[in-house]
Amino acid sequence: MINSRKEAEQLVRTCKYAPKGYRSFGPVRASIYAGSDYATRANDTLVVMPMIETKEAVQNIDEILSTPGIDAHLRRPGRPLAHARLHAEARPDRARRSSRRSGRSWQACKRHKVIAGLHNATSRYALKMASQGWQFVTLASDSRFLAAQAAEEAAAVKQTVASGEAPRVLSRARGPAGAPSPRACPSFPPLRRRELTSIAALQRGEARSSGVGRSPGPDAGGA
């Protein structure tokens, strides 16, 4: 995250090998995929892209992007600006303010001939920004995709089990000798409220301290 020209200059020097910077030398991994001469051309092949998140950075955008060695720009609205992009439809006022700041950044990229990049929360917004001239668009994050898919799968299982409509396994082949056919397996009975409460407690890690959902021990029930 860069807020000033001074920070932008430091970013460039950190990314570049001498004499343009002070990046530590030791390209062992880089030489595997980029060749043994990587160090001789690294300064010309690296993309230095400062992240612009704050109001201060937008105000200093021309000073930042005019810094020698800056190749691109990544606009990533920070808090509270991030909420404007994540909830653009719910909060149009915030969306408009964020859009104005992003527009200012985009215009600065054109003036200084650097690549205009923008972080987006949804594919719909990313496509919209690409159509408006943004050259580099990123989409959400790995953690968000994982969390969203995990929540969807868990919700589907909970809803099905709670409703008592567990899916039947459809198969033409019968099971092992003496085992009932999958078609004949009845659906699970609905879980009682107490059982659902126990499951929720286990998920929160409270079962160990409260005893919810645990079977009584051998000494339970009195002498």
Contact 3, 57 (CB under 8 A): yes
Residues 118/133, Cβ–Cβ less than 8 Å? no
Tell me how far apart the alpha carbons of residues 46 and 112 are, in angstroms, rounded to a whole number: 18
Query: What residue ranges do the domains of the chain occupy?
Result: 5-143
**Tens digit of each residue's pLDDT (9 = 90 or more) over 195-208:** 555 555 655 665 45
CATH 3.40.50.360 corresponds to the domain 5-143: no
For residues 98 and 201, which has the higher predicted lDDT (pLDDT)? 98
Task: Copy the structure tokens of residue 198.
Answer: 């126990």
> What pLDDT score does 192 carry?
54
Longest pairwise C-alpha distance within the chain: 86
User: Element (H or E) spanning 119, and its range?
Assistant: strand 115-120
Q: Strands of 115-120's sheet, edge to edge?
A: 51-52, 72-75, 115-120, 136-139
User: pLDDT tens digits, residue range 62-72?
Assistant: 999 999 999 99
Work out the average pLDDT over 28-44: 91
pLDDT value of residue 218: 46
